[in-house]
Structure 1
Amino acid sequence: MAANMDIIDPVTVGVVFGSALTISRVYIPTVIINQLRLHDFHMLEVFLTASASSALIMLGFEKMGIAKRSVRSKSSLHWFSDYDGNIVGGAILGIGMSLTGACPGTVLPQLVQGVKSARATTIGALLGGTVYAKFGKSLTSSSHLSKDTNAVHTQPLTISSKFNISLNSALISFEALLIAFTAVSVLYFPGKAFVLLPTVAGGLLIAAAQTVSIYLTSSPLGVSAAYEQIGSYICWAIGWNNVPQPSSPPKSILFALGMLVGSAVSGQLLPPLTNSGMVPVTNLQALLGGFSLIFGARMAGGCTSGHGLSGLSAMSYSSLITTTAMFGSGIFTQWLLK
């Protein structure tokens, strides 16, 4: 029975999350690209609402003894900082977002919903996962070994510990900041394109998926590991046997399959999208961007969902750095492309 639940639970979480991304319309390439151009704030409003809600959900589950907050570890290349893997990986991920109009999670609804660039993005993402599975782990380290002190830290650094404030103070500040930004965005910079429901409601749908994920699997949302797991299987298939096999059952892949199912089912309930107003994404852009999405996400130790949604909500300092690098790089890349 337990073995069956190890399969059913991640699929169920994926169904809920895939449905939430599809219904909120945050998966549409134009929505993501126009957010990075600072023209349309639909994505920001959904993202901030989901993050603020997820932080309360995580704290509530921790207080009830159901699941501890999953604070994200740092990723180190040991080039210029203990967090240089988060910085460089986040920047590469942001470039991929800007090129494709996707993030590792939204690639899957794009594929199901027939977005033209989605196939090329998916191929690039699988290539990125395969290359990272083979070569990437030799670049990064999450052992928490400090170059300066050679001391091993027992716990990943949180925002509250970094700035020497209490968890309650950090959480209150986090909630107040996100609510204020969301309110200003909704009042003065509302999302304009492809809106099916209010952006705050879309964020609450994603937060509901976070609730289901923590309750059923004791783990927060995160997608990019699925591409690395598939990449490991591809490595084995072509004879690179020195790559570790994913755990059995491969929960991240099952989660991704659930997302495909959830998007397919929920998409049938929605009015079809038109190409009017869509920002074009070429196949070359999508292929290169898809590779950047996954290679960057795995280098940083998480993606838009893993760091930006779950990691920030758990008050992870590494997630703050990664998310800043991700969106900063994405905005700068769009500025260069224009």
Structure 2
Amino acid sequence: MSTNNESNSIQNSDKSKNAKLSNRINIPIQIVSSIALGIIFGFLMNKGSVCLSTIIRRQMLFARVAMLKMFFSAIGTSMLSIALLTLIDESTYRNVLNGFIKRNERIDVRHLITGGCLMGVGMVLAGSCPGTIFVQIGAGLRNALITALGGMCGVLFYYLFLQKRLTKHEVPKSSIALQQLPDLMGVKRIHLNLIFGVTLISIAFILEYFFTYTYGLMVSSEFQKLTGWSAAVCGIGVGLLQLFFMILFQKSLGISTAFSVLVAQLCRIPVFKQLIPSLESFTYGIQNIVTLLFAFGAVVGSFMSTVSGNQFPLNERYGATPWNSFFGGFLLLVGARCAGGCTSGQGISGVSHLLVGSLIATASIFAGGISFAVSYGLITGDWQFHNL
């Protein structure tokens, strides 16, 4: 009996050692991969021109559709990536999905709607969204660093004053925010992913046909050449990143958490650790490092894209004013934390997972942005947002 116990103990010890060795090997791969994927993300977002304040703002009036084309094709490709991973390794996808749901189990419909609307208003004010802030920094866009500072202040404000009040209790499992479309419709997940994926990509290219990407695109002053690519094509590239995120990192695509990781470094200082203990979980760990390096890679990729088109630093007419940049960034990150994600986390990943809560958050982002943009235009008559 004791021999068997000793044998089991040795086997468990060997397994533990092998797991630790595997983790040590995987960490360098994850670090390099996160930077590489971030570079691709920043490059494609820049080339698709969706990092421009004018494009983001006027999308809310449907005067530009580059952002919508990229958004649809990115979600569609992400859905097809999920379908592919489900066929290849369903257990890995289940782990990713369960992890995403776990992170959102304390966020109810009120938080999704409020957070989404705040993000929409912030998008118009700052001419940005959480993910594109890093892309704008890489492009040298005017006041992008101020937007980032506003975003960090928004994260600090949320964890100091809102987080405990808004996440006291877990949302009931019956809440619509935690429901999944396959369960509600009685259809297999993979079938919905395939149908919605193909449909959304098709819509993106139909929009591309009627509203060509060359319309209103930046032109290099030196070489008089187009410096952007089709937003629909770039969206496919962004959507494919979802597959690599799930395989390499066992998580969904998202970037707004990078601001939480940045602010959480304050927790290394004892006084801040006591003041905002809820941020400590973002301070250490490979998952947080991966998130931060992905954002860093986005800055580098955007810089490479802008330099390749002889546009660095990006012309100031594509930026927002300092005050709008700061307050817009503040609202963007307060909203993203309230809603549990941004246009990439809830918009691309959550919708691709077919979660009703993510659909509510995404609809609220556009509802908030459209309402604010139309109200601003009606009150000021500045439909081009020149004064923002």
User: Secondary structure at the residue paired with 2:239?
Assistant: helix
Counterpart position of 1:170: 192
**2:52·2:319 contact (CA, 8 Å) conserved in 1?**
no
Counterpart position of 2:70: 46
Distance 2:319 2:84 in 1: 42
1:18 to 42, 67, 73: 42
Q: How does 1:112-131 map to 2 (within 5 A)?
A: 112-131=138-157
Distance 2:319 2:300 in 1: 26
Counterpart position of 1:309: 348
Output the amino acid matched with 1:233: Q
The 1:143/1:225 distance shift into structure 2, 3 A limit, reads farther
Deviation at 1:168, TM superposition (A): 4.4
Distance 2:233 2:31 in 1: 29
Deviation at 1:240, TM superposition (A): 2.3
TM-score by length of 1: 0.87
Counterpart position of 2:239: 207
**Deviation by residue 1:162-189 (Cα, 9 ceiling, x = unmatched):** 3444324533542354245324422334
Distance 2:365 2:206 in 1: 22
Output the amino acid matched with 2:329: G
Q: How does 1:210-229 map to 2 (within 5 A)?
A: 210-229=242-261
Counterpart position of 1:232: 264
1:27 and 2:27 are equivalent in the alignment: no
Q: How does 1:214-293 map to 2 (within 5 A)?
A: 214-234=246-266, 236-237=268-269, 239-242=271-274, 243=277, 244-245=279-280, 246=282, 247-249=284-286, 250-251=288-289, 252-272=291-311, 275=315, 278=317, 281-293=320-332
Distance 1:194 1:122 in 2: 25
TM-score by length of 2: 0.76
Distance 1:334 1:210 in 2: 31
User: Secondary structure at the residue paired with 1:7?
Assistant: helix
1:194 and 2:206 are equivalent in the alignment: no
**1:23·1:270 contact (CA, 8 Å) conserved in 2?**
no
> How large is the RMSD of aligned CA atoms in angstroms?
2.6
Counterpart position of 2:375: 336
The 1:56/1:337 distance shift into structure 2, 3 A limit, reads same
The 1:311/1:133 distance shift into structure 2, 3 A limit, reads same
The 1:57/1:172 distance shift into structure 2, 3 A limit, reads closer
Q: How many residues align?
A: 328
User: Secondary structure at the residue paired with 2:349?
Assistant: helix
The 1:218/1:325 distance shift into structure 2, 3 A limit, reads same
Output the amino acid matched with 2:93: K
The 1:335/1:152 distance shift into structure 2, 3 A limit, reads closer
Deviation at 1:96, TM superposition (A): 0.8
1:95 and 2:121 are equivalent in the alignment: yes
Distance 2:249 2:265 in 1: 23
Deviation at 1:159, TM superposition (A): 1.8
Deviation at 1:279, TM superposition (A): 5.6
Distance 1:42 1:141 in 2: 36
The 1:336/1:9 distance shift into structure 2, 3 A limit, reads same
1:68 and 2:93 are equivalent in the alignment: yes
Distance 1:57 1:142 in 2: 35
Rg comparison, structure with higher value? 2
Distance 1:63 1:157 in 2: 23
**Deviation by residue 1:205-232 (Cα, 9 ceiling, x = unmatched):** 2123333323322222101111112122
1:327 to 361, 366, 375: 366
Q: Which runs of 5+ in 1 are unaligned?
A: none
Distance 1:43 1:125 in 2: 21
**Deviation by residue 1:8-32 (Cα, 9 ceiling, x = unmatched):** 3322222221222122221111111
Distance 2:195 2:39 in 1: 32
